[in-house]
Amino acid sequence: MSNAQKALVMAAGIFLAIALITLAVVLFISAQDSTKAAQSNFSNIQTELSQTAFTVYDNTTLSGSQVVNALRKFSDKEEFGIQIVTGKNPAGQWYGKVINTGVPIDSVTYGSVVGEAPGQLSHALDEANINYVNPSGKFRAQLVHDSSNVIRGIVFRQQ
């Protein structure tokens, strides 16, 4: 084999190696974009799933026994509060955490956790207490979102 042929074979080898490296880089970049998109979709799905437990209560009418069940289910949840407004207590009572609903909805502090709530489950079950929840009563539920659109509470108003 002459020197010219060896040089051509070597040049072809170098060209082929550069082409393979370029192909690998292109594939890696496209796989990285796909991974970022999948990760973003997964994050959205995870957020939706974490809030599905509360969507049952979004602008629905519930019985008093369902309200008490929700109170049992969510009262010990971190950074979450339940307010029950009854006919005897139009100001309402907070359970779990107190959530700031006394400011306009578009306020930055709307839906923020203010502190520990004074309400106890036993008060909702005691017929002599003003916070008693009548099991056959009808309540309208409304979700409370904070400025980050995270569900921070549920407000139940007796109809």
60-82: pLDDT as tens digits: 999 999 999 999 998 888 889 99
Q: How many domains does the chain have?
A: 2
In terms of domains, do 65 and 46 share one?
no
In terms of domains, do 104 and 93 share one?
yes
Q: Per-residue confidence at 59, pLDDT binned at 50, 70, 90?
A: very high
In terms of domains, do 14 and 29 share one?
yes
In terms of domains, do 40 and 95 share one?
no
In terms of domains, do 51 and 68 share one?
no
Greatest CA span in the chain, whole angstroms? 108
Strand segments (E) across 17-122: 61-63, 81-85, 93-99, 113-116
CA distance 86 to 139: 9
The residue range of the domain holding 96 is 58-158
In terms of domains, do 135 and 86 share one?
yes
In terms of domains, do 64 and 49 share one?
no
CA distance 113 to 98: 6
In terms of domains, do 34 and 96 share one?
no
pTM, full prediction: 0.70
In terms of domains, do 97 and 44 share one?
no
In terms of domains, do 46 and 94 share one?
no
Instruction: Report yes or no: 118 and 93 within 8 Å, Cβ to Cβ.
Output: yes
In terms of domains, do 32 and 104 share one?
no
In terms of domains, do 15 and 86 share one?
no
For 94-126, the pLDDT digits (tens) are 999 999 998 988 888 898 999 999 999 999 999
